[in-house]
Amino acid sequence: MASSLDSTFPTEFRETRQESMRQSVTFSNRNFFSRPRSRKGWAEELSSIADCSTLQASAEGATYHFCFLRSRLMCFRLLRSSSTLLAATMAVSGLNLTVSFGQDLSSVQWKMHTINDQSPYEACGAADFNGDGRIDVFCGDSWYEAPLWTKHKVREVPASGPNPHYYEDFSDSPMDVNGDGRPDIVTCNYFGKKVSWVQNPGGDSRGSWKEQEIDLPGNMETGELVDLTGDGQPEFLPNPGNVVVWYELISKAPVTWKRHDCGNEGAGHGVGAGDINSDGRRDLVTPKGWYEQPAKADDAWTFHSEFQLGAAGVMIIGYDVNGDGLTDIIWGNGHGFGLQWLKQSKSASGAREWTKLNIDDTFSQVHTLLLADLDGKGEPELVTGKRVYAHEVEPGATDGSVVLYFQYDRKAEKWARSTIFQGDPALNAPNEAKDRWALKDFPKGTAGTGLQMAALDIDGDKDIDLVCPGKSGLYLFENLRN
């Protein structure tokens, strides 16, 4: 017994029939609940589902259940009674039927804001750049002033020579480099092989931001600020594929950076950090193993070739997932499908052992990951998604983009996935990589995770919001928890 909704959701609609003529229908489409309808419109669309049906839908991160009888559905309305409970009231052939349905208590609701839907840059950072007490966003050649996201172009960022849809801006990490009280930007690029810092001019911060070169270590996927030394001041950890290096700011006046070279034995696509051996010092994690931080960071870092991760994203995260006191490793496949983790355990002799486990293999180009406490319960969630056109032609390149977060249930020993954004695919993308362009191929308003997201309280309501850049635009996801 098919519903008229079959034609609306041909790829996601599934139905099963039982001998009792009960019909169970499951669909997932974010447009179903967001499309405007009158009461009559709701009634007409839902009344076509027949005979003591149960309808379950997943939309906007919540799960909804509807039950109704075979009869004309006279009216339908949604009532929000609390943050964790919704109610539906329907008049069915003169009978008032009320059905309540619960929302996953662990889920967080989000509101999407467009900062610049034509921005092609893949990195971003957030901080109060002009000193007005509001958190602004820096991305590519411009910073965007809160709360209206007014664009201020402050530097030139060229497109790369080999591919004009890659720009020489692979990291935008805010840090007060010169000690003047204003956040500057620490950046790196791939084709130029350069690590730099970009100076905030002060005042209203709308003047030209001047770039100061730090080093030329090689082609870099991206870079992040990480407190490796434990002194409270972060170091810059880039990902050149040919060497493992990090940069320590040892003086702000004059600005002086120190390069720490760990060698090339573990170098590859991806880098990260975590206290792997639980000695209280943060180690470096690479696709080929991990570098043990010595008691003095200037001494040699011992490399342990204990695993192979492939083309990992950035960051590779060292974190105790299951709460057993051992640091596990989380990473994504930057140029294919898959989000995985390595569970650390100890053998009878006390040696480290690693077990590879899947988190989610349904989306691709998992190029950036971070941990953030999105629900305010004290344990961080894993935030990641799709880097739109990480490479224009590779597995899943034209699939719909996603921004997701994952929570690990330590009792059930499994991951739960929640959707922040689900986009539509690039159905008419050209076949050749050289002809593909995210801003044209994907629908307008497509968000992804790019190379570097920002997670912090943007609007001052004491919860963590997300800024997501990428080749298909720059977007803010407002956390509605508070």
* CA 150 to each of CA 53, 137, 144, 206: distance values in angstroms, whole numbers, following the listed order: 49, 10, 5, 11
Closest among 417, 421, 384, 418 to 402, alpha carbons compared = 421
Per-residue confidence (pLDDT) for residue 162, from 0 to 100: 81
Contact in structure between 167 and 121 (CB atoms under 8 Å): yes
SS3 label, residue 387: coil
Query: pLDDT tens-digit profile of 82-96?
Result: 333 333 333 333 333
Per-residue confidence (pLDDT) for residue 107, from 0 to 100: 75
Please classify residue 232 by burial: count the beta carbons closer than 10 Å to its beta carbon, then call 0-12 exposed, 13-18 middle and 19+ buried. exposed
- pTM here? 0.80
Tokens at residue 319, please? 């974190």
Closest among 179, 168, 172, 186 to 126, alpha carbons compared = 172
d(CA 283, CA 299): 13
DSSP string covering 82-139: ETTEEEEEEEETTEEEEEEEE--TT---EEEEEEETT------EEE-SSSSSS-EEEE
Residue identified by tokens 């007014």 is 150
Residue identified by tokens 């959707």 is 419
Per-residue confidence (pLDDT) for residue 281, from 0 to 100: 98
Bridge partner list, 247: 236, 259
SS3 label, residue 170: coil
Query: pLDDT tens-digit profile of 261-305?
Result: 999 999 999 999 999 999 999 999 999 999 999 999 999 999 999
Q: Peptide bond before 147: cis, by omega within 30 degrees of 0?
A: yes
Closest among 434, 433, 440 to 394, alpha carbons compared = 433
Query: pLDDT tens-digit profile of 104-123?
Result: 434 799 999 999 999 999 99
d(CA 482, CA 473): 26
pLDDT per residue of the chain (482 residues) written in tens, 0 to 9? 333 333 333 333 233 223 222 222 333 333 333 344 443 444 444 444 433 333 333 333 333 333 333 333 333 333 222 333 333 333 333 333 333 333 343 479 999 999 999 999 999 999 999 999 999 999 999 999 999 999 999 999 999 888 889 999 999 999 999 999 999 999 999 999 999 999 999 999 999 999 999 999 999 999 999 999 999 999 999 999 999 999 999 999 999 999 999 999 999 999 999 999 999 999 999 999 999 999 999 999 999 999 999 999 999 999 999 999 999 999 999 999 999 999 999 999 999 999 999 999 999 999 999 999 999 999 999 999 999 999 999 999 999 999 999 999 999 999 999 999 999 999 999 999 999 999 999 999 999 999 999 999 999 999 999 999 999 999 999 999 98
Per-residue confidence (pLDDT) for residue 161, from 0 to 100: 80
SS3 label, residue 158: coil
Contact in structure between 144 and 116 (CB atoms under 8 Å): yes
Contact in structure between 228 and 204 (CB atoms under 8 Å): no
Per-residue confidence (pLDDT) for residue 354, from 0 to 100: 98
Per-residue confidence (pLDDT) for residue 2, from 0 to 100: 38
DSSP string covering 287-325: TTEEEEP-SSTTSPPEEE------SB-SPEEEE-SSSSS
Per-residue confidence (pLDDT) for residue 456, from 0 to 100: 97
